[in-house]
Structure 1
């Protein structure tokens, strides 16, 4: 009996100790406005013991220790750690703050292929702009302008016309930054470039834009040097609703948009549709434009295992263009001067118009195989049709107003017998031609993810693409002529010009058909070979790659390895300037050089070029304490050259400089976070060898574009970036700031070629570029932004940016020309009226004023002519340089009804 009592005593002792050692913790999780957050995760740090908040944001759980920390998290909010003790177990409301860089709540589909920072714990230099800010601040500008308040980002070229902007990241042009739409690569396959007019609709359909500077984290078998920009579009939501908006702006701009979402029904189906229309005269003279955006998204969630989303979107548009003029001409005719337009019989005419229609289709499928295994796949296709117009033939000089003299052009063409003009001989006339760039592109990105345990995650995937492009010229406007005759000297299969009897052999084309520069008709037009002038060639680009990523992460430490291997093949098909000499059949050529009206069969395929590339990335981060974290990333790339670098002469001759580009990148970073304040410091060093660097300028003697290529260029980019964000005045004031200091230079020497608009080589030379400054992006930037909520429904925001160390965009040169520094200020107002029984409807008003203080500045320059004593200058710049002034003060206002 005594032993039993002793055993009972011991048992009661342990039970009491266990009970006394446990702590029951209660509390409430709320957002910044004090509203409860149902479904928030509450976890005892270092354990799997956790719970979720109820509908009122309340939670209750029992901890096995008398003290410790809770990890509180919710999608779209910054995770917070809160201490507890047995004496203080009934916690005060735990407030979570919105995470500016979080996109988890936005990504509904494609979670495995839409690779966003935060998808892995190892950090990168990243900035995120969500839909609310895009809609507030973008106004009438290109989507690239959403990224201007970001370190090491420079946007230029807006003055060229609607959608003609360019963006550089850490001094690397946009062809060296990866751009993705819901995980789908959208950089041009031929040259990597982005033509933002084709993507003008992203403003309307984006839920968020995230830019990862530097090595990035994209799950692609391709190396991006400047970084990775993810455009995440709206997807079919579970709740019914939509909006209608209308906007007006300077220079007769008008835009209207309608968006509607059906909401998800009981069978898991949902549909979202959107349509918008815009038009305007443009900031520069002769910069008219018009376009539409359509967006259709079908979502289907049959069960918890599968999720599908089908997307169709496009942005057909046309816009007239302004190119860089001599600064002297801007001083003579005004800063909005554009020499590419004029009038005939009082009607507006233009020489340079871009028109394009690029429907994009993609299907996202998320497959949750089990609790630890997922498969995400996107299948996509795009069908681009359109091009750009320009002069061909005997271009008449501009009139006294500096505009195209269409009266003289029509008079010249009217004097040609029977209106049958040509680009040669005594009957030279003038037409407006269209350079067409049509393509069909199909691809797939698929990612398999496996969580081996709570610390180790593995990804492997495929990146497959095939692209067929067609390039040719046609007549867009005869300008009073009835037909156009074209002659081109033929080449043999070895790229030698054919001769017969000491004279050249020519192909002869005569056409009386023209095609209007209309994006809708360009989508369905059929172009016969006999109607193509000047050139006609196609290319096939095929791409296949595999990528993998392994990440190990604990509470305080994470590390990852990412690698890829890919193969590209390129082949060119020329239908115009090649012929088999055996088909000439001894036909002679007159000594006058009159082209042969022969039926020579032409068409020669180039040799197929195949290149293998790879990239290796690794990185690690360490959390020192709750406020401090450090990281480092390193990458080695061997990147295949673009198609245009393989065939730079735009014939079937393969460049002898074709080789993979070698890239080595190193990044170090530090982040600091306390209540109401976060800051980041990022440093980088990127070496890039075996580059092909291109630039272009207008030949003042001909009015035509002249291109310069530098082969074998090496660049060294290094710098530091700092950004911060603070919440002040009870979270009513959001204060952000950034600065970036870069040192971007060329190293060594290059082989330099200058070509005319038809890609004929004008000159070739060796070029010492060592120490030359990389142009087209400001190497020093500084900025800050204030967003103050005066009331819950009324706010004002102000952004200021300063740019210095901006050099001319002339490619690789030894002595580049520095442009004057400048600063820009933007101001905006927002007001909201809520109504409806549940206050779930609203009217939103927005007004933006950009370049508030009317700063006069050069945003871009295509030549680097130094000012000598006695030369006329503007702010120290020789006025014979070709450049373009940035926009002056502009405004836009919008109203939006949410229902």
Structure 2
């Protein structure tokens, strides 16, 4: 008996000892498959048990298990789960999760020319919106709306479909660089962005990344405020697709379908998307409709080469929303938008109203990319791209007594744009990496006014020396159909409007640049140097105001050289604390629109333009990466010298006559601090917040020159005393809190609150307020806040739950906040003036949207 007892004791000890020594430790890092960014708060569970762990804010996890072998399941909200095996203590390394939507497991094509923050060791101030967030929260909004819950960003909806604007650190879209798969898409003429031309980009976006300030882009681009990178879907590894139907306020409806073959035998892959939308618009008489198409053809002949051809476009038309005085909105309601009635037109909008203006445009974009892996240390990435834009802003012209609409005059902005980007990457050794590349852009802009639709009669007289005096216009081209406008453009100068108030000219802008980056990185320290140099040429060709019949007048070629340099460094005190500092200087060539006294009617050079604009930026940051809380703190200071301000404003809302104001070089200084906080204190609940405080002012005084739309001088040499005035149009204080909670499996609710303060009207340099040495600066607009909310549920279907039916409801401006979005005027309140919330009612303003909603159903297969 004693021996039996001893045997049992020994056996128990052996079993316990065996169990003790069988204990395993599994480690790894969970990352997003698309952007290679860490996924904090991902769940790591030992399969068949409740034993688990969560990743920290760097994506790292450590799981201790008493089993000598087995499997772990890694999951994250919005991503596909993955099951991995382990055998003893194991370091699983980098584990990639794909977004849980229909077009997942994406291969980024042209990755060498897409400057994402994750591709560089030295940090920057950045926020990334991923595909699942875009899919759920976009609804029927423009791209700027989805970025409004990031620091120092303000989205202005603008009134009509696609008329939204984005301000970044107080700089408008002209001075924020927008990139589509590494391709610059701001207008080469003046830097502007028109979201109506890109209304389908969020349907095909894999991610949108906002890089505030200096950013990581190596190109010589207009990134004074920052850079927005839009990365689209390309090659899908797996077969799948989706069907989606959305309905929203004001009779909005959108239908979208997409399908991908996945990677086929032979290395081919095909992805296609088609969509159609239409709606009445939140503002009165801002109807619109359009389509989205996207085609990706991928080919991977071997492991070293990947090719992809992408074609996308968003033909659309939409009626525009004009500015009105605050007094008018208070009398008629904030949805008020003037439109004509009783117009005998084959293209009448429903309800018998004809808009004062309508945007019609089609701008297909194609790019061919080639990613070449040369060896284990080096690669070459190239993208050849082209776009051809055709369309116009058609405004209603009146005549007679009483004045009635006569015809729709199209201000046409056509272009042919070609470019090549190529980047060579070499990991020189364990610590040093090198990037060098070229950036070539060839642009031809074609601008003229024409009759897009006759409302009375079927002809119109015009006159110009180029056409031998008086001539008759009898044809319209395209009308309001963007497909017709694209395939039936007006190439006949004798069917274009010449004479007073009209124009007909072209410009050729050719750009050649080279860039490079050298980065050093070890475990704790990283540093980089970036540089680029470019030359840009401009030639303007005049037709409408040429002196001789049939002979165009060509300007002298203007050549400008520009460059930028950036340096930065970071230090990791430990895995939780990182600090960085970056600095940069841009010598930016003037825009084409800056170079001429009036680029619409004259080859005369603008005497105010003396050279390049100078932008100098400094920024510093601190990152805290904890298990449940992560935070980013950024400080910035940007000085912009030798800026030429070129602005236009409608002085007659019925007739859309314009005044054009140019200024002598001015100076802006933008500085501020930004804080982002991300938390996950309990499973399934994310609470994030941000606050940004800016101080954006003009420095020094300027001289203004004002012309009308015929080129005649209205005023010359007036001094505007703007020193110390606040830069307007974007709130200098923004804050927000967002929460997202998975109440039940795949059933989620979320909301975000945004606050805007220290918002000022536009600095109207030609106004009386700024022509007096005792100027009172920019008017201050009332602060406001908005709340958005959403609910979603995903119902798993099919074998192994591979298919799903997803429902989403969004309500924006939940409490129907009434607020002024921006003001184009700067009229202060004097004694006896009527004001609303401290704003003179004579100011031309826009109100923000009231409560809006959208509901969508999406079948993923």
Q: TM class, shorter-chain normalised?
A: 0.7 to 0.9
Partner of 2:486: 523
Contact 1:306 1:365 in 2 (8 A): yes
TM-score by length of 1: 0.83
Superposed displacement of residue 804, structure 1: 0.6
Contact 2:306 2:371 in 1 (8 A): yes
Output the CA distance in 2 between the equivalents of 1:136 and 1:801. 18
TM-score by length of 2: 0.86
Partner of 1:475: 451
Output the CA distance in 2 between the equivalents of 1:758 and 1:848. 47
Output the CA distance in 1 between the equivalents of 2:615 and 2:60. 44
Structure 1 residues 432 and 678: alpha-carbon distance in aligned structure 2, compared to 1, 3 A threshold: same
Match of residue 817, structure 2, among 845, 851, 855: 855
Superposed displacement of residue 204, structure 1: 0.5
Return 385-394 or 434-443, whichever deviates more: 385-394
Partner of 2:525: 557
Structure 1 residues 104 and 840: alpha-carbon distance in aligned structure 2, compared to 1, 3 A threshold: closer
Superposed displacement of residue 28, structure 1: 6.1
Superposed displacement of residue 61, structure 1: 8.1
Partner of 2:84: 57
Partner of 1:570: 538
Superposed displacement of residue 62, structure 1: 8.4
| 1:159-199 Cα distance to aligned partner (Å, 9 max, x none) | 42000011111011111111111111111010111100000
Superposed displacement of residue 874, structure 1: 1.2
SS of residue matched to 2:800: coil
Q: Does 1:148 align with 2:138?
A: no
Contact 1:292 1:315 in 2 (8 A): yes
Output the CA distance in 1 between the equivalents of 2:365 and 2:424. 24
Q: Does 1:654 align with 2:605?
A: yes
Partner of 2:496: 532
Structure 1 residues 484 and 686: alpha-carbon distance in aligned structure 2, compared to 1, 3 A threshold: same
Output the CA distance in 1 between the equivalents of 2:309 and 2:839. 52
Structure 1 residues 895 and 749: alpha-carbon distance in aligned structure 2, compared to 1, 3 A threshold: same
Q: Does 1:747 align with 2:699?
A: yes
Superposed displacement of residue 754, structure 1: 2.5
| 1:293-315 Cα distance to aligned partner (Å, 9 max, x none) | 00000111111100111100000
Superposed displacement of residue 520, structure 1: 0.4
Q: Write the mapping of 1:649-688 to structure 2, written as runs, cut at 5 A.
A: 649-650=598-599, 651-658=602-609, 659-688=611-640
Partner of 1:708: 661
Partner of 1:773: 726
Structure 1 residues 388 and 71: alpha-carbon distance in aligned structure 2, compared to 1, 3 A threshold: same
Q: Does 1:34 align with 2:44?
A: yes
Contact 2:631 2:675 in 1 (8 A): yes
Return the index of the structure with the highest Cα Rg: 1
Q: Structure 1, unaligned stretches of length 5 or more?
A: 1-22, 45-51, 64-69, 78-97, 398-407, 411-429, 492-504, 581-599
Contact 1:712 1:749 in 2 (8 A): no
Partner of 1:93: none
Q: Write the mapping of 1:710-725 to structure 2, written as runs, cut at 5 A.
A: 710-725=663-678
Output the CA distance in 2 between the equivalents of 1:749 and 1:632. 32
Structure 1 residues 831 and 757: alpha-carbon distance in aligned structure 2, compared to 1, 3 A threshold: farther
Match of residue 574, structure 2, among 616, 625, 631: 625
Partner of 2:441: 465
Partner of 2:95: 74
Aligned pair count?
776
Contact 1:182 1:232 in 2 (8 A): yes
SS of residue matched to 1:630: strand
| 1:832-885 Cα distance to aligned partner (Å, 9 max, x none) | 100111101101000011000110000011111111111111111111110111
Superposed displacement of residue 448, structure 1: 0.2
Q: Write the mapping of 1:148-167 to structure 2, written as runs, cut at 5 A.
A: 148-156=148-156, 158-167=157-166
Output the CA distance in 1 between the equivalents of 2:660 and 2:554. 25
Superposed displacement of residue 374, structure 1: 0.5
Output the CA distance in 2 between the equivalents of 1:384 and 1:141. 22
Q: Write the mapping of 1:316-355 to structure 2, written as runs, cut at 5 A.
A: 316-344=315-343, 347-355=352-360
Superposed displacement of residue 334, structure 1: 1.3
Superposed displacement of residue 524, structure 1: 1.4
Output the CA distance in 2 between the equivalents of 1:811 and 1:153. 23
Q: Write the mapping of 1:795-806 to structure 2, written as runs, cut at 5 A.
A: 795-806=748-759
Superposed displacement of residue 76, structure 1: 5.8
Superposed displacement of residue 203, structure 1: 1.6
Partner of 1:235: 234
Q: Write the mapping of 1:309-320 to structure 2, written as runs, cut at 5 A.
A: 309-320=308-319
Contact 1:695 1:811 in 2 (8 A): no
Superposed displacement of residue 43, structure 1: 13
Output the CA distance in 2 between the equivalents of 1:717 and 1:149. 20
| 1:722-763 Cα distance to aligned partner (Å, 9 max, x none) | 001101222x11101001000001111222122334444321
Superposed displacement of residue 250, structure 1: 0.6
Structure 1 residues 191 and 184: alpha-carbon distance in aligned structure 2, compared to 1, 3 A threshold: same
Q: Does 1:737 align with 2:689?
A: yes
Output the CA distance in 2 between the equivalents of 1:271 and 1:547. 33
Q: Give the aligned CA root-mean-square deviation in angstroms.
A: 2.7
Q: Write the mapping of 1:325-724 to structure 2, written as runs, cut at 5 A.
A: 325-344=324-343, 347-392=352-397, 394=399, 409=404, 430-487=406-463, 507-515=469-477, 516-527=479-490, 528-533=492-497, 534-580=502-548, 600-650=549-599, 651-658=602-609, 659-700=611-652, 703-724=656-677
Structure 1 residues 656 and 262: alpha-carbon distance in aligned structure 2, compared to 1, 3 A threshold: same
Partner of 1:826: 788
SS of residue matched to 1:331: helix
Output the CA distance in 2 between the equivalents of 1:331 and 1:509. 46
